[in-house]
Amino acid sequence: MSDYLPVQVILEILKRLPIKSLVKCRCFKKGKENSILHYNNDDFDEFKQLQFPVFGCLSYSAVVGSCNGLVCLTFLPQDVLNFIFWNPSIQKYITLPQPNICCYTDDVRLNFGFGFDSKTNDYKLLIVGVEKGETLIEPYLFSLNENCWKKVTPTSPKYAVEAGISSTFVNGALHWLGYQEGKLVDSVMQF
């Protein structure tokens, strides 16, 4: 196709297509695919209103993370953890089964991490709990491929994960800042 049309013309055509059509079409050469993924629109005057999936009366909601266009959201109505994986481009989401873990209390704070495991081609969600500010409780890992939660046996970390601090997904691993006795230390914890 690029032998007949200049790249700029192809990009002009592709940027006018609906997202659903682009998702269905997987026949781009690597160079064209890269152009689409890194398209830069300097106008910023075009935007699309997204329908945000919500559940009833919420006491808490947050974006856990996003990866490859998939967004992980958490909702906490009536002290029950709810998660969804949402693809805003195609306006579809799935509700994850509830994990068998206690929710927020005065002594327990939970942190969440979301990422993609390229080895197993699987999206995963990690729950890390911190009890009384320092003690790591058993983490739980959700696998989209298996559609279930599993307890993960952690190695004993030298530092704690501060409650409420978001993880960052880089190079196939989740990263948190390390804390000791409530103070930030020069350490990054990886899972």
Mean pLDDT across 82-105: 82
What digits encode the pLDDT tens for the residues 43-89? Answer: 555 655 666 666 555 556 778 888 888 888 887 655 677 888 988 88
What is the share, in percent, of the chain residues with pLDDT greater than 90? 7
Q: How far apart are CA 181 and CA 191, in angstroms?
A: 21
Residue 149 pLDDT: 93
Residue 43 pLDDT: 52
pLDDT at residue 34 tops 50: no
Cβ–Cβ contacts within 10 Å for residue 40, how many? Answer: 4
Q: What is the pTM of this model?
A: 0.63
Nearest Cα residue to 162 out of 121, 130, 191: 130
Residue 58 pLDDT: 52
pLDDT at residue 14 tops 80: no
Residue 99 pLDDT: 85
Residue 33 pLDDT: 46
Residue 146 pLDDT: 94
Q: How far apart are CA 78 and CA 81, in angstroms?
A: 9
Residue 88 pLDDT: 84
Residue 158 pLDDT: 58
The DSSP bridge partners found for residue 127 are 112, 140
Contact assessment for residue 113 and residue 123, using Cβ atoms and an 8 Å cutoff = no
Nearest Cα residue to 9 out of 135, 46, 1: 1
Stretch among 26-35, 160-169, 178-187 having the lowest mean pLDDT: 26-35
Residue 12 pLDDT: 76
